[in-house]
């Protein structure tokens, strides 16, 4: 992730120093692994950088139970030790496996963060106003896993790892009774909990009679809505608190909750979740990047041209148009098109395209390589006061997997990984590693899922030879931070 | 389709009469088949209606070769005879099968239109400015099929059936040489055909050097772009000419072109295309309705609230919120959400929702049931001057099927149908009919595809008993216009 916002970082950390050169075009191709502590983002980039980074205290997930010495080793860009929860300590809920490794020097600290919790939700009593059985007021539990891939600073990822599940809990409080009641959710709740509940029935006649029917809303879609609004509120909290609490940068968020038999996978960014079930791969997320969200971004730039600040054009070109091409016809596509056509170049087509580049080098406003994230409220176009946040969405896409619809064996797993894993590992390679590692352990050995997470991280990181972190096939491994959760869907300890 | 814009029709045809009651809520559930000539859309709705309809001359596709008597029979809502090209006449290109039937009285005429042509594209010579082999200037041929499902009048569908393929031809003229040249398309063409072509190479250094690479554009994506722009230009032409040339209403458009080994399926509306290959169903389009495009519509309403005219809210509710619910919490979702949540009702939530209803009864602005179409430039919210057109897109989604990648047998077909077919027939039922009908004919009998089209139309229309057009399972058949193309992918005459 870090390479993808290098320009932004350079801008942010040099706020008090000399202005950086105006990088209107995307940063140069990342050469993984770069020299440790790249000047753009590392502490070598001058006093302002050091000051900015010093504000945020470095931490790793508490479930790693790192001693001060362990924290130093986890922070070592040269050794890149793979970290997992200690085998001797309390195991993660649901026998979850976890492993992580720091990047190869692209930022001072590991900007990934993670959280794994069992969360109890106490319902607000009599939310619907109706009298209920006392047992229904006893609350709900959900299992929660979150991966947060930070960029342009670690503050947002750290804050999200501490607080996002609390926002989800808060959103679910109103739903505790409703979710446990098999009847369809009420359309309307009283404004004050405990007040008499309104009737759902429409009055006879009147304009309401013209509405053909009332749309049915499922319990599942209430949970989805709760997760969506929790992401929004988390993002709003980051906006309010960003000055007082060092919420620097932004983060992609990949979150899983297990509630009442269903697994909800919420993704905002370019992390990825897949289920490997009986060797079959079931995608549980998709990545949100300038390429996958090109049309949303272009439409916004088209409808709100003031957001482009006269510096960018919402049209896409295969490369930046040159002044000498004025009047000639050049390939382009606009927000309505998936194909390409030729257009006659006018003066405003010479502006920098809102969306440019391909694959990992694709950028919004020549700056950021993901289009959904939490935070990023201070992110500006390099050497400009133009905010990028209006183009970024904090809303996740939520996919639902009904765990009760399939009988799972101990080798069926849900894998969550930040882009450091997926940049160099295909879904099929992950599935092969799942098979290889899990078959080497007894099915009831609870350490097998952490071993699998470690194998996935090691396989993506490579080994330190030939001036780079090399994979067995001699390709370069990922120089990025890598974090992986392995959630068993049918193994020992599941559903416990 | 017709039921879905009944309010709009009522408004349009009553322009000179007394204003209709303010139908802020969607039209009542359609009861197929309605009584012939429903007052809302038929000629019984007063003199202005008659005047408006009289302007447009009624026609059926020329390839049906209908005599005046045949035209009268095709226009008979009581008999609903199934129409196909005569077996004695010149066969449709590519041995295509076709059948259609008029609706059960919902509009005066059949508002579906169809076109099937072989189109020759003469290239503009030396478009790229480079010297080419003479043979490359000889032009291209494409096969073309179009279904146009009109609403609120037949003018738009008729105009599109006459002109859309010409717009496509015009867009392809610049591409004749490029598409036949295996090298990647040039980024840049001279402004004047025949002028020296510019170099594609970027200059060394300068801002261009920062752009990591030039995005590669495929030949296929140029054809897609040409079709997309042809739809846009067709829609613009309807806007210019709508007063002088009786372009009343709008139409959904489902278009297929076959060019250089590939089939391009372009869909704007709620018609549908599927391939049935060896019994397997391959969807080749998706429908664009207020439900499938809810988030695009809501986003537009949110970003451009002036388009809502103070009459609508961009939020969705399961039913219209009532004044007595002010201050209470009601289920809603906004443009960023797929799930539902509760919100406290404020005054502006009492406005009519931009998107409401479910399934075939879903509406934009309580008026229209499709969200992509050509035309509709005069469509207004009932009893209001608020235009609906800004929410409708004329752009198709284009899917590509490479015919050379698979060996097709004579029973493999591409089926195109207006919503009259799909409202009462599932993809699987269509596939079963394909199997049943085609296996009853010799594989080299070219009439088998028209027989299949007729069977599909008959199966969707039902038979006239029990005061309705009944299907064998005693369900109601479609009371709508139905049009079906059957395009053989591997049968006799294919590729000819």
Q: What single string gives the DSSP state of each residue in B400-454?
A: EEEGGGSPPPTT-EEEEE-HHHHTT--HHHHHHHHHHHHTTS-TT-TTHHHHHHH
Reference A442, options A491, A376, A385; nearest CA is: A491
More confident residue, B19 or A176: A176
A192 in contact with B, Cβ within 8 Å:
no
pLDDT by position in tens, chain B (length 496):
544 454 333 333 233 333 333 333 333 333 333 333 333 333 333 333 333 333 446 799 999 999 999 999 999 999 999 999 998 867 899 999 999 999 999 899 999 999 999 999 998 755 554 444 444 457 999 999 999 999 999 999 999 999 999 999 999 999 999 999 999 999 998 776 545 444 444 433 333 434 556 888 999 999 999 999 999 999 999 999 887 777 889 999 999 999 999 999 999 999 999 999 999 999 999 999 999 999 999 999 999 999 999 999 999 999 899 999 999 999 999 999 999 999 999 999 999 999 999 988 999 999 999 999 999 999 999 889 999 999 999 999 999 999 999 999 999 999 999 999 999 999 999 999 999 999 999 998 889 999 999 999 999 998 887 667 888 777 889 999 999 999 999 865 554 4
pTM confidence score = 0.85
Most confident of A37-46, A194-203, B177-186: B177-186
CB–CB of A28 and B212 under 8 A? yes
Cβ neighbours of residue A98 closer than 8 Å, sequence gap 6 or more = A61, A63, A84, A85, A92, A114, A116, A450, A453, A483, A484, A485, A486
CB–CB of B23 and A210 under 8 A? yes
Mark which residues 167-186 of B lie under 8 Å from A by CB: 171, 174, 185
Mark which residues 374-413 of B lie under 8 Å from A by CB: 393, 395, 397-398
Q: How far apart are CA B451 and CA B432, in angstroms?
A: 14
For A22, A333, B1, B207, the CA distances from A353, given in Å and listed in that order, are 15, 11, 40, 13
Dump the DSSP string for B355-383. EE--GGG-EETTTBS-SB-EE-TT-B-TT
CB–CB of B221 and A327 under 8 A? no
pLDDT (0 to 100) of residue B464: 82
The distance of Cα B487 from the centroid of its chain, to the nearest Å, equals: 17
Neighboring chain A residues of B358 at a CB cutoff of 8 Å: 212-213, 215
CB–CB of A338 and B221 under 8 A? yes
pLDDT (0 to 100) of residue B58: 77
Q: H or E element: which one contains B460?
A: helix B448-461
B460-482 burial, b at 16+ Cβ within 10 Å, e below that, comes to bbbeeeeebbbbeeeebbbbbbb
CB–CB of B212 and A29 under 8 A? yes
Neighboring chain A residues of B223 at a CB cutoff of 8 Å: 339
Is there a contact between B158 and B247 (Cβ–Cβ < 8 Å)? no
**Between B210, B344, B356, which is nearest A211 by CB?**
B356
How close B483 comes to chain A (CA, Å)? 28
CB–CB of A319 and B26 under 8 A? no
Report ipTM for this prediction: 0.84
CB–CB of A212 and B336 under 8 A? no
B463 in contact with A, Cβ within 8 Å:
no
pLDDT (0 to 100) of residue A37: 31
B325 in contact with A, Cβ within 8 Å:
yes
pLDDT (0 to 100) of residue B35: 32
β-bridge pairing A312-313 and A352-353: parallel
A17 has a pLDDT exceeding 90: no
- Span A355-373, average pLDDT: 94
pLDDT (0 to 100) of residue B14: 30
**Between A198, A212, A328, which is nearest B325 by CB?**
A198
How close B258 comes to chain A (CA, Å)? 16
Q: How far apart are CA A241 and CA A236, in angstroms?
A: 9
Q: How far apart are CA B36 and CA B329, in angstroms?
A: 44
A428 in contact with B, Cβ within 8 Å:
no
Q: Which of B339, B356, B394, B397 to mutate to test the interface with A (most CBs of A within 10 A)?
A: B339
pLDDT (0 to 100) of residue B244: 74
B255 in contact with A, Cβ within 8 Å:
no
Is there a contact between A187 and B319 (Cβ–Cβ < 8 Å)? yes
Q: How far apart are CA A402 and CA B143, in angstroms?
A: 46
């Amino acid at each position: 992730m870090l390479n993808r916002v290098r320009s932004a970082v350079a801008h942010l950390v040099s706020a008090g120093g000399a202005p950086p050169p105006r990088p209107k075009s995307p940063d140069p191709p990342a050469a993984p692994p770069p020299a440790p502590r790249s000047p753009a983002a590392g502490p070598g980039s001058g006093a302002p950088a050091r000051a900015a980074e010093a504000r945020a205290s470095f931490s790793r997930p508490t479930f790693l139970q790192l001693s001060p010495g362990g924290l130093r080793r986890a922070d070592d860009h040269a050794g890149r030790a793979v970290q997992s929860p200690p085998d001797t300590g309390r195991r993660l809920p649901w026998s979850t496996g976890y492993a992580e490794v720091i990047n190869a020097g692209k930022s001072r600290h590991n900007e990934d963060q993670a959280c794994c919790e069992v969360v109890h939700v106490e319902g607000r009593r009599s939310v619907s106003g109706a009298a209920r059985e006392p047992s229904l007021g006893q609350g709900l539990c959900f299992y929660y896993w979150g991966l947060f891939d930070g960029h342009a600073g670690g503050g947002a990822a750290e804050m999200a790892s501490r607080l996002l599940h609390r926002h989800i809990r808060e959103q679910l409080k109103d739903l505790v009774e409703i979710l446990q009641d098999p009847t369809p959710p009420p359309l309307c709740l009283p404004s004050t909990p405990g007040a008499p509940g309104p009737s759902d029935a429409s009055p006879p006649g009147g304009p309401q009679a013209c509405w053909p029917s009332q749309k049915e809303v499922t319990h599942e879609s209430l949970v989805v809505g709760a997760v969506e609004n929790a992401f929004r509120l988390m993002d709003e909290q980051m906006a309010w608190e960003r000055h007082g609490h060092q919420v620097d940068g932004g983060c992609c968020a990949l979150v899983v909750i297990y509630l009442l038999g269903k697994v909800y996978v919420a993704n905002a960014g370019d992390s990825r979740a897949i289920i490997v079930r009986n060797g079959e791969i079931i995608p549980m997320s998709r990545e949100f990047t300038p390429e996958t969200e090109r049309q949303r971004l272009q439409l916004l730039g088209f409808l709100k041209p003031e957001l482009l600040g006269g510096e960018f054009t919402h049209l896409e070109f295969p490369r930046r148009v040159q002044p000498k091409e004025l009047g000639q016809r050049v390939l382009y596509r606009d927000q309505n098109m998936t194909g390409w056509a030729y257009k006659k170049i006018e003066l405003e087509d010479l502006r920098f395209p809102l969306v440019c580049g391909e694959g990992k080098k694709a950028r919004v406003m020549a700056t950021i390589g993901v289009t959904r994230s939490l935070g990023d409220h201070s992110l500006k176009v390099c050497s400009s006061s133009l905010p990028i946040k209006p183009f970024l969405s904090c809303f996740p896409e939520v996919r639902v997997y009904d765990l009760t619809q399939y009988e799972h064996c101990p080798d069926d797993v849900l894998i969550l990984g930040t882009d450091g894993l997926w940049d160099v590992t295909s879904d099929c390679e992950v599935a092969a590693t799942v098979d290889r590692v899990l078959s080497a352990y007894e099915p009831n050995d609870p350490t097998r899922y952490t071993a699998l997470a470690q194998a996935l991280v090691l396989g993506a990181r490579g080994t330190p030879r030939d001036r780079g972190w090399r994979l067995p096939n001699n390709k370069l491994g990922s120089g990025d931070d890598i974090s992986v959760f392995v959630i068993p869907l049918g193994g020992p300890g599941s559903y416990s």
